[in-house]
Amino acid sequence: MPARPLDRIVGAVCLAALIVTSTAAGVRSTEAGADAAALASYDDAVVVLADARTDADLASAELDDTRADAANAADAAAAALDVVDPELLDDTATVEALEAARDELATADEVIDGYLAETASDPDDDLGAAPDTRDEHASAAVRLIVRAGVLDTAAGTMRDFDASLASLTVAVETATRELAASAHAHGTATDAPELAGDEATDAYTAAVEALYGVAASDLAPALTAYQDAWADAVSAHEAAEEEAARAAAEASAPPPAANTSDGVQPTYIRGILVVNKTYGLPSWYGNGLTAETVNAFERMRAEAAASGLDLYISSGFRSYATQASIYNRYVANEGVAAADRHSARPGHSEHQTGLTIDLNTITTAFGYTAEGRWVAANAHRFGFIVRYPEHKEAVTGYVWEPWHLRYLGVGVAGDVYASGLTLEEYLGITSAYQ
């Protein structure tokens, strides 16, 4: 097996030391033999130094390549962090994880910069002119060997840096992929708003799909496209709602002072506004979520966030005209019987009261998430009830909707929750279209 550079260094040092010692003791048989040995030790030291330089240069080149990869990973991470909206992620902890990985990589690179600055030197600083005498050969050999030892140590240090930096780079790349996966998971689980329209919905769906397996260097523009598509879908939905409300207002005569234009009055039972399949609202009723509902949600959202949970309103107030559009679309696709199980007829939607919100993902899967379980156990403390519990369709008229909350106030909501009853059972009323 060929000798490693350091093994050759040790052997050459021993040879040079032997020459110097032998000369001092007068042990060598001839001057010619001593000269030849000293020259051989010098020649060997030159070779050892050249090998050490070659190895150090190779280690330096390897480290340069790894630093370039690290810089690319850090740049991609920084770009993604600059644009990401945590509210459109499935897990906001992925943001903190990526920030931490990027910072650790930056710290390691700064340490390497400092080391390289401290150890920089002229690659030819130890060669000089070839020596002439036996003593100069021996002392030069020792000097070159010591320099070779320094270079061998430097090569080892750079390779240690290289391995550490490569590992940190992988950590940043992994955290970047996890951030992309979190955005994709949130987008996949969140439908575009109901009235966004085909164009905005298709654009949003395409932007979500583009997040799957996206390269780290392309994550920032992909995140931007996804977030912009969501904003566009929300804007399209709101514009459609406004247009529907405007059209409805123009198509109907102004209501008389008593607000009984369509022969329906709001119904209050035990001080609670009741809206279900039995009790409806006039078409003019409602103009947005009430301040009490919004404030109660914000308190609930803040407490959930303190526990690492993410709650957001996916649907709030809906006008009579908006509900008519939604319901009619379901009827066209599914028929009246199927639509009536999960969509209210216009005038019979709790969303028109301004006291009702839909949370997060409007699917039953929400009920099995950490957020869904927390809401089921805690919403009453903020004045909300889960309006349509599981296995209560025969009573409420609607399938299980774990995302659908109705604001009743803390006192009433607490009583309903403690009773284990639906609102219909609590009030002793029915929910069936006449």
Active site residues: 401
CB under 8 A, 24+ apart: contacts of 4-9: 5/48, 5/51, 5/52, 5/55, 5/148, 5/152, 6/149, 6/152, 8/44, 8/47, 8/48, 8/51, 9/48, 9/52, 9/145, 9/148, 9/149, 9/152
Give the integer Cα–Cα distance in Å for 410 and 416.
10
Supply the DSSP symbol for 343. S
DSSP states along 172-196: HHHHHHHHHHHHHHHHHHSPPPTTS
Q: DSSP 3-state assignment of 386?
A: strand
Reduced DSSP (H G I as helix, E B as strand, rest coil) percent helix, strand, coil of the chain, to 5: 65, 5, 30
| Nearest of 197, 239, 244 to residue 346 by alpha carbon | 244
Q: How many helices (H) and strands (E) does the chain have?
A: 13, 6
